[in-house]
Amino acid sequence: MSLEKFKDRNIGNQNYTLIGHEAFPQTGGEKFERVMKRMLKGELFVGLWVTLRTMFQALFKGEMHTTKYPFEKLPISPRYRAIHEMLRLLESGHYRCIGCGLCEQICISDCIRMDTRYDENQRKEVSEYTINFGRCIFCGYCAEVCPELAIVHGSRYETSSEQRASFSLFEDMLTPIDTLKHQKEYPGFGAVSPNADENIKKTPLAY
Amino acid sequence: MDALIIETVVKAIVVLLVISALAGFGTYLERKVLAFMQRRLGPMHVGPFGLLQILADGIKLFTKEDIVPQHANRLIFMVAPAITAATAFIALAAVPLFPEFTLFGYTIRPIVADLNVGILFVLGAMASGLYGPLLAGMAQANKWGIIGSARTAILFLSYEVVTGLSILAPIMIVGSLSLIDFNNAQAGGIGDWMVWQQPVAFVLFLIAGFAETNRTPFDLLEHEAEVISGYATEYSGMRWGMFFIGEYANMITISFVASLVFVGGFNPIGFIPGFLAIILKVSFFFFLMLWVRASWPHVRPDQLMWLCWKVLMPITIVNILITGIVLL
Amino acid sequence: MSSKEITVKIDGKECKSVEGEYILNVARANNIFIPAICYLTRCSPTLACRICLVEADGKRVYACNAKVKDGMEVTVTNEEILQERRAIMKVYDVNHPLQCGVCDQSGECELQNYTLELAVDSQSYAIPDTIRQNKNWSDVLHYDAGLCIVCERCVTVCKDMIGDSAIKTGPRGGEALPKEAKDTMPKDAYAMWNKLQKSIIVPSNGTDFTDCSDCGECTAVCPVGALVSRDFVYKSNAWELKRIPATCAHCSSGCQIYYETKHTSISDPTEKIYRVTNEWNYVSLCGAGRFGYDFENRVQGKDEEAFALALKAFNTAQSIKFNSAITNEEAFMLQRLKEKLGIKLINHDAKAFKDFLTSYAKASGKGLYGGDLKEVMKSDFVISVGASLRNDNPNARYAFNHVQKMNKGAGLYFHPVGDTLVSTFGKSVEIFTHQVGQEELALYLILDLFANKERLDDETKEYLASFHRHEKRIVKEKIMEEVSQSVTDKATGETKEVIKKVPKTIEKEIEVQINGLVEMLGGNDTFYENFEKMKSKKESFSLIIGEDLYYHPHSHNLSRLVALIEEVCGMSLVMIPPRTNSLGVAMICDLDEEESGYVIGYNEHGHFRLSSRGFSKLDIPALNQQEGTFTNINKRVVPTNAALDYHGYELNDILNALGIGMRQTIDFTPQLGRIEGFKSENFDDLPNGYTNAGEELRGYALEVIETNKEEIKVVKFDESIVINEGEIAYRCNPQRQFNDFTDRSSQINEEFGAYVSPSKAKELSEEIEVIFDQEQSFKLKVIVDDRMQGDIIAIPDYKSYQNIYGVFGRDRYKKVTIKKV
């Protein structure tokens, strides 16, 4: 398809077809006729009836849709992308992050930074980790790229705070050790698909 | 004579206080009703069921900074809201609100001034309310204000005609301009209600009343999507609040007039005493205005004029002619 | 070394090459990809990985060790070869930990690349894993045996390039391969697996720690993340680092390096150098180059007060004292100061070198020595005179070693300080631990051994002949004597005469030719016999001379001898400039002999000090914060870039304030063209890299200028300058120290002290006082250098504020008194 069609900016000359639209009244008589028709047909009263019905349903049939937000919260989807969480290993309680730096690299708003070091146990330790939430756009790439399911998007969507520094340190995002027992294998954004096993080739690790 | 003056002053003050309180309460009601019709809860958090929201809003309006734009005509800008509020209350002066009752052995007629040209006074006072928005819009040196005031002028002037003509037929039947006479003319129960004799006038009066009070579907003069806030664009704080009180006071006035002229006024209906009857009627008309606002879209300015001059006015004239012929 | 031009076809592409080149190198030079893990361009083929398998003229060969023949047709890949390679990669992946997330190779991993390149998407082999421990081999080397794929590149480079041979393959203790594997697996993959399962890399001295010069070249060549420098372990991912092409600032080799920088930490956004990498196929770094990178001079901003003081100082100064750890541009600016303001330029290291070069130029008719280290590397007989090869220039040492290892070459090493390392380079290395001052004799010996005698004048010929004499000696010789025996066969009862050969030692009197020069230089008795073997079949010769000759009482005569040797022996000659850019400074600056009046110390001692080391009145940028060029030992002008930013003043600002500056320092680069030998090229046009064929594209080569050649008159050796008694101090840096910059680097931890051999250390206390004749004395810690021999103590000169150059003056060896403290 050529681009000419898109470059035609002569708006209003397109051949639009009006669907289910009666002819527009031309003369005064026709207009008067239409007004009378609409008035007598009671369309206006249908509108009144709808709102009245809704009011009664809301008041007496419990169909009120308001959630009193700070006191009540709606359940959100596990795939919702709010403030990040750092998960721990369910068995050992050690944090999952291995410091690979993929989240830092993939971050399109360049808001993740980490410092790593060689620790006493000959492992790579994340000595510092921050997310600048002033810049984060919650795109979820970090959670998606994380090979360990260590950084995930949590459900804490109330991101306003008095200080920009809030939530942004590793310790703030890390699951507190005493609530580890509530941590479940994370099903949400970035988790492996339920049928992941079917999609990988098995290697002979018989030992 | 002294007693009359004192009585009138007391009545005036009572009406002023009660009606302005009711106007405030009206805003609460409007928000609640609109909310329910949209499956919302409306104000909930200030006081039980959000009842103290009015108070909170009042505090807010009173304590807000009073801003007068740099190039505005200061005097007119400051006076204009008072005109709106004042005319709305003045119009109420000639409206009998309740049946006579006795308090501490003293018979009170709940009307500030029983004029023999009551209906004319009410319409006239309400019509002069035009000056409020008109002057406010022109004084504030703001293009939206100018457009708002222009719309005000055409809307008020045009629909004044319809109001006046539509109410002419009932006047012809009753033969008096006093609203008490109107009330008394319908004392015979529901069957005597003017609305059965003059249904067309009733409908036309309601339509025109909506226009007079700037209610949807005729709220063109301060329609946000088109002219920001119309004549009230530059207003803030209590001055802006006075426009509101004026509007709600007008709504109450129109509701009273409609009740008195067309649906039997404060005559008791069966076991329902008169004062309760009129409260129910006024409440219904007030609710109707909110209900309509929740249900219907507003019209275009050209549709508005077309409706007024080409539809409503001819119908009123025909109605008057027919009424005249029948009376003869 | 034949260099016959031939043509081969690799995958249908015609490639020109020379005979004797490996198929792999020809392919690489012609941008044809042949997978190879274990091969290093300049080193000997290891044949550890076997994935460079190709088909040449229908036969399967390994591209890394099969040489091209004229008209050869090579197929890089066919289905069978691909199967084989795939199997090899599968084997490499067996039990390789899946730690790619934390591995320091961070994706720059050849194992990863080839696994993907060869589309290995499943594993069919398995074997129980062996526990392999992480080890720290030295202060800088970290070995993660779990990640190691035993490609032996580290072992190869350590042996063939560096010469330390500090690591080797050792037993892994892994389980034997499954029996059926031999029949079911491709042949090469099986062989490779068999070897892999048995070996691991260990230090070759049998301990857990390497005994080496800590050059870190093994970490550079490691294709996986097994060998990493200790300070870089788990510090940063490679992709975060910004690579800045530069030139190493430490010695005169001027090696190509990349500074790799990143922000310091989360809270500190200033750039920091995290590591130094190099094009390890074409250049090898030393420990100073690889680990001495954090010598930057961090300043807060422009110190206007100090700058005003500096201007005042420059207006009153009569001399500027500086060393050669500066760029050509800085040298040019200093020369400009001399021209415009008449300030004297004092530079100890470059002055001696310049004098030597001038005198050499007069004798040889050339402004510069003829060879370079690359020619040395190609030669098969290399001689080093007057250079502490291990310390003065690591690349000269690598070249010396490379000749032994790769070219089956031979070498002669003349130096008063014995060195145990040089003799390990190869079997054909002869060491002459001569007395201090006998350098002339060494050169005469070279003349005697290698010169085309017809080209020498009669006087010299006679002089050389005067050292020869004949002597009768009794030598013991083993001969095989035939003895007849009668043996009775017990089974048959027959008796037979059997002739048997029995070894017997006899004494024999022979006449031997004795060369007095060899004796005087302390050579072995067996030298003459060995030398015949060493010299046979050798085609190209090279001579490396070092600082000892420039700082020699007879340096004038030495320079003429060197010129004579170059002329009559057909040797390729390399002189090691004493410091980073001594050659550049010697060519650019007009140096004065003696300082006088008010002295400005530019990175040196003086009344007013400007220093990139800090602690000075005005800070100037260090060499990793400057753009500019160096003139290196290979007679190349090579560019270096600023790795870190610098916010203070630099020399050009001073010149600008004096009205003789340019807009930027690098605007002086084209100005260098005014000096003979240099070219007028813009800094930004100078390349800094290598081609696939290993061709060096860095800066430009200096032109060697023809000068008026005078007849070479050499003087006979004068016995009187020999120092052969008492304590001798030798001005020499430890292995990884070169200048203030290495001193400042946190990972270069060789201390300032007296370096002595283990035997000498026994005589001395822990701390000694070294007293020089001008009654200057230093209290120094005694540090044992295992590779030194003899009694001479080495005193480092890398700390400029200690003014060791000033103490030694125009000598490199001094008689001293040593007191125990």
Mean pLDDT of C607-616: 86
Residue B39 is nearest to which of A28, A35, A65, comparing CB atoms?
Answer: A65
Is residue C2 predicted with pLDDT exceeding 60?
no
CB contact under 8 A, C129 and A113: no
Query: Residues C525, C529, C531, C533: is their CA dihedral positive or negative?
Result: negative
CB contact under 8 A, B310 and A55: no
Please report residues of C whose CB lies closer than 8 A to that of A116: 234-236
Please report residues of A whose CB lies closer than 8 A to that of C121: 201
Please report residues of C whose CB lies closer than 8 A to that of A103: none
Distance of CA A4 to the CA centre of its chain: 37
Please report residues of A whose CB lies closer than 8 A to that of B307: 35
Peptide bond into B217 cis (omega under 30): yes
**Which of A27, A31, A51 best probes binding to B when mutated, by most B CB atoms within 10 angstroms?**
A51
Answer yes or no: are the C-beta atoms of C118 and C726 closer than 8 Å: no
Question: Which pLDDT does position C459 carry in this prediction?
Answer: 86
CB contact under 8 A, C123 and A148: no
DSSP string, C474-514: EEEEEEEEEEEEEEE-TTT--EEEEEEEEEEEEEEEEEEEE
Answer yes or no: are the C-beta atoms of C213 and C390 closer than 8 Å: yes
Q: What pTM, to 2 d.p., does this model score?
A: 0.78
pLDDT level of residue C262 (50, 70, 90 thresholds)? very high
Answer yes or no: are the C-beta atoms of C807 and C774 closer than 8 Å: yes
Task: Give the separation between CA C671 and CA C581, rounded to whole angstroms.
Answer: 17
Answer yes or no: are the C-beta atoms of C228 and C104 closer than 8 Å: yes
Answer yes or no: are the C-beta atoms of C269 and C286 closer than 8 Å: no
Subunits next to C (3 or more Cβ pairs <8 Å) are A
Is residue C511 predicted with pLDDT exceeding 90?
no
DSSP string, B202-241: HHHHHHHHHHHTT-TTS-GGG-HHHHTTGGGTT--HHHHH
CB contact under 8 A, B41 and A50: no
Nearest to C579 by CA among C417, C426, C353: C353
Residue A54 is nearest to which of B39, B292, B310, comparing CB atoms?
Answer: B39
Task: Give the separation between CA C484 and CA C48, rounded to whole angstroms.
Answer: 51
CB contact under 8 A, B36 and A58: yes
Mean pLDDT of each 10-residue bin along chain B, 328 residues long: 83 87 88 91 87 88 87 90 89 85 79 83 88 89 88 88 90 88 84 87 91 83 78 87 87 90 85 88 92 88 87 91 90
pLDDT level of residue C684 (50, 70, 90 thresholds)? very high
Residue A51 is nearest to which of B295, B306, B307, comparing CB atoms?
Answer: B295
Subunits next to A (3 or more Cβ pairs <8 Å) are B, C
Q: If you search the block for the tokens 């095989």, which residue do you land on?
A: C480
Task: Give the separation between CA C722 and CA C802, rounded to whole angstroms.
Answer: 27
Answer yes or no: are the C-beta atoms of A84 and A154 closer than 8 Å: yes
Question: Which pLDDT does position A9 carry in this prediction?
Answer: 65
Q: Tokens in use for C348?
A: 């100890």
Please report residues of A whose CB lies closer than 8 A to that of C123: 203-204
Residue A51 is nearest to which of B37, B40, B307, comparing CB atoms?
Answer: B37
CB contact under 8 A, A64 and B40: yes
Please report residues of C whose CB lies closer than 8 A to that of A115: 265-266
Residue B296 is nearest to which of A47, A52, A66, comparing CB atoms?
Answer: A47
CB contact under 8 A, A124 and C126: no
pLDDT tens for B67-77 read: 888 888 989 99
Look at C110 and A202; give whichever has higher pLDDT: C110
Touch criterion met for B and C (3+ Cβ pairs within 8 Å): no
Q: Is C597 left (phi over 0), alpha (psi -120 to 50) or beta?
A: left
pLDDT tens for B134-162 read: 898 889 888 888 988 888 888 888 998 99
Question: Which residue in chain C is spatially nearest to A204 when comparing CA positions?
Answer: C126
Residue A124 is nearest to which of C122, C234, C240, comparing CB atoms?
Answer: C234
Mean pLDDT of C97-108: 88
CB contact under 8 A, A52 and B291: yes
CB contact under 8 A, C234 and A115: no
Please report residues of C whose CB lies closer than 8 A to that of A150: none
pLDDT level of residue C1 (50, 70, 90 thresholds)? very low
Between B237-262 and B131-139, two packed helices, what is the crossing angle to 10 degrees?
160
**Which of B38, B289, B318 best probes binding to A when mutated, by most A CB atoms within 10 angstroms?**
B38
Residue A54 is nearest to which of B37, B296, B307, comparing CB atoms?
Answer: B37
Query: Residues C337, C338, C343, C349: is their CA dihedral positive or negative?
Result: positive
CB contact under 8 A, A201 and C234: no
Q: Is B41 on the interface with A (CB under 8 A)?
A: yes
CB contact under 8 A, B294 and A68: no
Look at A193 and C164; give whichever has higher pLDDT: C164
User: Can you give C437-469 as a three-state secondary structure string?
Assistant: CCHHHHHHHHHHHHCCHHHCCHHHHHHHHCCEE
Please classify residue A172 by burial: count the beta carbons closer than 10 Å to its beta carbon, then call 0-12 exposed, 13-18 middle and 19+ buried.
Answer: middle
Q: Which of A22-36, C372-386, C468-482, C794-808 has the lowest mean pLDDT?
A: C468-482
Please classify residue C222 by burial: count the beta carbons closer than 10 Å to its beta carbon, then call 0-12 exposed, 13-18 middle and 19+ buried.
Answer: buried
Long-range contacts of C54-59 (CB under 8 A, 24+ apart): C54/C23, C54/C81, C55/C81, C56/C23
Answer yes or no: are the C-beta atoms of B167 and B190 closer than 8 Å: no
Q: How far is A40 from chain B (nearest CA, A)?
A: 13
Strand extents, DSSP E, C559-683: 571-575, 599-602, 608-611, 618-619, 628-631, 636-640
Task: Give the separation between CA C310 and CA A24, rounded to whole angstroms.
Answer: 91
- At C203, is the secondary structure helix, strand, or coil? strand
Answer yes or no: are the C-beta atoms of C787 and C419 closer than 8 Å: yes
Question: Which pLDDT does position A11 carry in this prediction?
Answer: 64
Answer yes or no: are the C-beta atoms of A88 and A96 closer than 8 Å: yes
pLDDT level of residue C187 (50, 70, 90 thresholds)? confident
Query: Residues C319, C322, C324, C326: is their CA dihedral positive or negative?
Result: negative
pLDDT tens for C621-638 read: 999 999 999 999 999 999
> Within chain A, which residues score under 50 in pLDDT?
none
CB contact under 8 A, A68 and B41: yes
Q: What is the average pLDDT value for chain C, to the nearest integer? A: 89
CB contact under 8 A, B311 and A68: no
Provide residues of A within 8 Å CB-CB of chain C. 98-102, 104-105, 113-118, 122-125, 128-130, 147-148, 201, 203-207
Q: What's the half-sphere exposure (Cβ side, CA atoms, 13 Å) at B95?
A: 30
Residue C239 is nearest to which of A105, A116, A204, comparing CB atoms?
Answer: A105
Please report residues of A whose CB lies closer than 8 A to that of C101: 98-100, 102, 147-148
Please report residues of B whose CB lies closer than 8 A to that of A52: 37, 291
Subunits next to B (3 or more Cβ pairs <8 Å) are A
